[in-house]
Amino acid sequence: MSYEEFPVFIPMGDDNLFGIVCVPEFGDSDMGVVLLTGGNYTRSHRNRMWVSAARSLAKAGFPSIRIDYHGVGDSTGHARFEMEEPFLEDAMTAADFLIAATGVQRLTFLATCFGGRTAMAAAAHHDKGEVATIFPVPLAIPSDPSKIPFRTKVKLRVRRWQWGKKLFRRPGVRRLRQAAAARRSDSSMVISPRFKRDLTEFVRRGDLWFIYGDRSSSLDELKRLLAETAPNMSKEERARIHVLILPDCAPEHFRTIEDQELVVKCAVASVTGDLDTLPARGEALSAEAAS
């Protein structure tokens, strides 16, 4: 076996975070990787995607840690996920432990979904954070968080019931809702100020990869983010933001084994520096162009 795995409980306040440290049998890379998931997935991610990524990274010489957030999986505690409150402490704790256990001097934070918010915050705050790789992440929040649109309240209430879930799954209802959403103005939504702040802070020193699919639902939000942040950055900072758009997919749903393999391949390539070999179009959305 080209790797060794060490399951660990890492103290964090009153809680214990559970994680798996995966170290290569050979190699002396000083770059370690923190693998983060969305809220409802445990450390292995859907269909063991992060297990596969961690072992491939180890084969390439990079150690990693994959964790359960507090209140999730085998970690202790209680969790509540708020889009604007990433689990910064969890990611920082895991990163510090990886450094202590393997001696790495540089860090990559790699994440999907809600984990993207956490990865961005941790990369900005950890002084050893050098790379952040983020798969599609929701970026828009209400401009006035105290005002939730009436239609959203109705939707959430209806969805609490089985008949409501079935209703929303009907193709006809889905088409009607999509058409209504397309007509609606989204001026009530803004790009997360916190994410913008963390991104601006991080690109002063680190490389940031956004890996999206051309059918990713939050692609427009990414475009807005880049258009709003790039003008205030230097040329060097803008050059540190890389956007990779994978053709003909929405990788954030992980709905097929093929999509999952692509996510794992991209995740590993973003650390090993082999992303240019993947089929993608990145030029149209670079931060440089957005500015």
Partner 1 sequence: MKVDRELLARHSSFTDEGIEERAVHFDIGGESCFGLLYQPADPRGLGFVVCHSYALEFLTLRRIERSIARALASMGYPVLAFHSRGFGDSTGTLAEATFDRLQEDLFAGASWMMSETGASDLGFIGARFGALRAGVAARGGDAGRVVLVAPEFSGTTYFRRLIRNKHMVELVDSGGSARRSMDELLDVLAKDGMLDLLGYALHGHLYKAFAGINLSTDVGSFSGDALLVQVSKRTSPSSEALAYSKRVVDGGGRCRLEVIKEPPGVNIGGPAFVSTSDPFVREDLQEPVVDRIAELVKEWIKD
Q: How many Cα atoms sit within 13 Å of 31 on the Cβ side?
A: 18
Q: Which of 135, 195, 209, 254 binds partner 1 (CB under 8 A)?
A: 254
| Contact present, 288 and 238 (Cβ < 8 Å) | yes
- Sign of the alpha-carbon torsion through 98, 96, 35, 247: negative
Q: Which is nearer to partner 1, 159 or 205 (CB)?
A: 159
Q: State which of positions 213-242 bind partner 1 (CB under 8 A).
A: none
Residue closer to partner 1 by CB (options 7, 231) is 7
State the sign of the Cα–Cα–Cα–Cα dihedral 264, 104, 101, 111. Answer: negative
Contact track, partner 1, 127-166, x by CB under 8 A:
--------------xx--x--x---xx--x--xxxx----
Contact with partner 1 (CB under 8 A) among 105, 143, 154, 175:
175
Q: Which of 155-194 are b and which e, b meaning 16 or more Cβ less than 10 Å from the residue's Cβ? A: eeeeeeeeeeeeeeeeeeeeeeeeeeeeeeeeeeebbbeb
Per-residue mark of binding to partner 1, 47-66 (x: CB under 8 A): xx--x-----------x---
Say if residues 18 and 226 touch (Cβ distance below 8 Å).
Answer: no
Distance (Å, whole) CA 138 – CA 224: 12
Question: Min. distance of Cβ 257 from partner 1 in angstroms?
Answer: 5
Note the residues at the interface with partner 1 (CB under 8 A). 1, 4-11, 16, 18, 20-21, 23-24, 27-29, 39-44, 46-48, 51, 63, 71-74, 76, 78-84, 97, 100-104, 141-142, 145, 148, 152-153, 156, 159-162, 169, 171, 174-175, 254-260
